[in-house]
Structure 1
């Protein structure tokens, strides 16, 4: 099928693309759920990046090798009609998309063009994405959000051949999916590359089918590594400035050797088009997930049962570590593998299964990669000593729920006690405070009554209503006891003190430096 025919077919399709709005910009997963036509493409065209130079003066040899293995993925999804009989996207948004105004620029007051149907009749809408062939037998890799909720999937090869595709497996957390097609001959493939070798400034090419106009190649550089978009527990995106748009989702990001180093997935955009801030899943992360999906269809993730946070320089200083690094355990789930293994609140996990843990993301990925039931060694820094324990990894079949971050009100005055060195006003838990903060009957600690705005506690993020339950890993039951342990820490010559704080449904460590007090 020619690119122009694809464009015509999807010019008035219902908008299905998933989007996360972060005012004033849009994080848009680069899937095309209905095209706005060539005028839209012209309106969002990006000026080529100045100074980009291809090896030997041209990217043509790379494109000639890789482009035949890039495909267009077309999905059919159910769109339920609303009360007016208009097709609504399957995400339940009733058509109130953040892209509505964007489309009205080209369709006027008639609004977003969607198919009409009698009330109470379901409709079908098509969406476009991209993918690439990794097996000559017809094995294809794409994003999960490209095929999520699809009732049927079709793949268009680079030569225009259309073939039905079967979903072999998908993984929501990593946003990856594997498809399979049957072709009459071996298909061209593209090889995996090593994303760990990518450096900021390296040249890359993004290949896909933006807006359904046909396979397109754009060039740019790696802008950054390790970006976290908070779209999943394993976010480790490569940021690129090679223009990618809706419809590029699932397409390959290739290096100057023509190997896949990433999978184009999302963009930051104020208007739905490329502004030179795109994101790709690293190939080293994707390749391991794809291998598992090809075997079984679903992935079982390992589970430890800890709530963790980064180890900052202030936290490291308070805990006697010579440098920041690792994952600080802020809470341990009762009955979890971590609890059974003896992992404690305040432990810093520095290694897992022979792998160095530099930050919480390292631990999340390391645990997730382990098969449930495996026994792994955990390296821990606990109260000034390095220890090693063994943990039986459990099974994590459900998404982790985000803890509440709602602020609590200022508590009623109780038995107040000031901590001038940190800029804190503490009070005991009285019956009135317990009721006001909705604390459990057995809750003990010192309640933060006030925080001086120009002192260290405020800079560290403490706020009225926080309940300090431990100071330097010593449990405290009252404001006086908390003040005493803080004073002892100050006299010992420590640069900062480590506070374990209960805040709503969340438990976190906060390191407060004495020098800033």
Structure 2
């Protein structure tokens, strides 16, 4: 079409000038063809738009590092329910003798040996293997099957139930094919991923999909899961989730399913969490996580207002027992905003970052306190060996009578409340108006109010004074620090104006 237009323009010119424009027409045709060729070359191909034409090369590259895991446990039989025979029945003795013969061997109770199937992957040529802890938990024997059919017995090097990770070791006769961990933080939602393992005991199997979501939490303290729609079923547990570079970015751990089968919602523990755990298990046979020594809770919008924070971020310190944080000068009511250079959005992130830090490391912790930021130097302890500290002895009783404030019936502390909550001073919540904001915020009878507006309180008069100060400052709520069963937490209680 472009050529016809150029020729039409040339024909419309006077004859005397056609020869001059013939060369120009030819040049324009050449330029048009060149531009078209460049456009075709740079345009994305169908394969680029639709994804890789095949995953076969990637499977060949990493497949030999993926293993099937079979475990055996010795369990005494004869402990489960059996046929029910009415007492006094003529068949009662017959059934009892029959069951006794079935459940006992010549030398005592006959064991059964149930097999559990899972997956794993080799991370070193000398035979270190990563899998899920729940795959090998309670096993007496562990066998590892390789893609070529070889089987080797494995020993447990170390386990970490908190992240559901275990490290095994086999003794190969020759160096093994192994894979490396990649950077799970670099994985983007929409990236291709490939899962390999032993689903439903069917042997080596491959499934592909994308990263559906990141930073998912299930129920663990250190959860950082990649969600994927690559098919993951029972038996895939402990197997690797690969990126397109052949790096392990996750360990397939769990699925969300109403029927026990894959519905496209699978979870892989992120490699940046797993790699640190694996290194510690290989070196020490156990985890050695950093310990800050604080109790914390998330910052809500109302709590942020009560603290004077411009944004809802950080981890609010509710208790500082004896430990690294107290020694560094951290206080109740501090909001931890940065830990060792990492900005902290919420409590889950702080727990994960602290747990990934080294025992004995001295780190900079930035806290927000009294409208300003402060930097504390904290030398971390070890979480696994941290001990609870004793609370001070109870103090004397107050004699202030009960009073009602903001839907709360407040009274002096009793010795029983002091002992149960590990405090010396405060106010006891005797009752909560079920129609009040206090009830909506979850306050209950038996709670102990330790602070109001980040100031200690020992009487109802002090409570009222803190509320008045918050109201005069234009705040819509006042921040309470309460203890329930010894566990502290902050509550932003709206002020009834």
| TM-score grouping bracket, smaller chain normalisation | 0.7 to 0.9
* Cα gap change, 1:392 to 1:439, in 2 (>3 Å): closer
**Residues 1:202 and 2:191 aligned together:** yes
CA contact (8 A) 1:227 1:237 kept: yes
Displacement of 1:311 in angstroms is 1.4
Equivalent residue, structure 2, for 1:374: 361
Q: Which has the higher contact order (CA 8 A, sep 6+)?
A: 1
* Cα gap change, 1:500 to 1:173, in 2 (>3 Å): same
Q: Give 1:482-501 correspondences, 5 Å limit.
A: 482-501=463-482
Equivalent of 2:79 in 78, 83, 98:
83
Equivalent residue, structure 2, for 1:235: 223
Equivalent residue, structure 1, for 2:64: 68
Per-residue CA deviations over 1:353-387 (Å, capped at 9, x if unaligned) read: 33322222222223223333333222211121211
Q: Distance in 2 between matches of 1:399 and 1:247?
A: 36
Per-residue CA deviations over 1:278-311 (Å, capped at 9, x if unaligned) read: 2110011111222222223222222222111111
CA contact (8 A) 1:223 1:241 kept: yes
Q: Distance in 2 between matches of 1:337 and 1:486?
A: 33
Classify the secondary structure of the residue corresponding to 2:438. helix
Classify the secondary structure of the residue corresponding to 1:481. helix
Per-residue CA deviations over 1:124-178 (Å, capped at 9, x if unaligned) read: 3321110112222322211122222222221100111111223233222222122
Classify the secondary structure of the residue corresponding to 1:295. helix
**Residues 1:343 and 2:330 aligned together:** yes
Equivalent residue, structure 1, for 2:393: none
Equivalent of 1:212 in 201, 209, 221:
201
**Residues 1:461 and 2:449 aligned together:** no
Equivalent residue, structure 2, for 1:358: 345
CA RMSD, Structure 1 to Structure 2 (Å): 3.0
CA contact (8 A) 2:413 2:426 kept: no
**Residues 1:189 and 2:178 aligned together:** yes
Equivalent of 2:432 in 429, 436, 450:
450
Equivalent residue, structure 2, for 1:428: 411
**Residues 1:142 and 2:131 aligned together:** yes
CA contact (8 A) 2:320 2:332 kept: yes
Structure with bigger helix share is 2
Deviates more, 1:172-181 or 1:466-475: 172-181
Displacement of 1:506 in angstroms is 1.4
Q: Distance in 2 between matches of 1:54 and 1:78?
A: 50
Q: Distance in 1 between matches of 2:119 and 2:423?
A: 55
Equivalent residue, structure 2, for 1:385: 372
Q: Distance in 1 between matches of 2:404 and 2:175?
A: 77
Classify the secondary structure of the residue corresponding to 1:137. coil
Equivalent residue, structure 1, for 2:487: 506
Q: Distance in 1 between matches of 2:268 and 2:454?
A: 40
Displacement of 1:196 in angstroms is 0.6
Equivalent of 1:279 in 263, 267, 271:
267
* Cα gap change, 1:264 to 1:165, in 2 (>3 Å): same
Q: Give 1:281-300 correspondences, 5 Å limit.
A: 281-300=269-288
* Cα gap change, 1:61 to 1:291, in 2 (>3 Å): same
TM-score, normalised to structure 2, is 0.76
Per-residue CA deviations over 1:325-369 (Å, capped at 9, x if unaligned) read: 221111122x22222222211111122233322222222223223
Per-residue CA deviations over 1:195-229 (Å, capped at 9, x if unaligned) read: 11222333322211011111112222323222222
Q: Distance in 1 between matches of 2:485 and 2:281?
A: 38
Equivalent residue, structure 2, for 1:327: 315
Classify the secondary structure of the residue corresponding to 1:57. coil
Equivalent residue, structure 2, for 1:110: none
Classify the secondary structure of the residue corresponding to 2:148. coil
CA contact (8 A) 2:438 2:493 kept: yes
Equivalent residue, structure 2, for 1:308: 296
**Residues 1:133 and 2:92 aligned together:** no
Classify the secondary structure of the residue corresponding to 1:225. strand
Which has the larger Rg?
2
**Residues 1:254 and 2:242 aligned together:** yes
CA contact (8 A) 2:70 2:118 kept: yes
Q: Distance in 2 between matches of 1:72 and 1:439?
A: 50
Classify the secondary structure of the residue corresponding to 1:284. helix
Classify the secondary structure of the residue corresponding to 1:285. helix
Per-residue CA deviations over 1:478-503 (Å, capped at 9, x if unaligned) read: 33422331222022012432111112
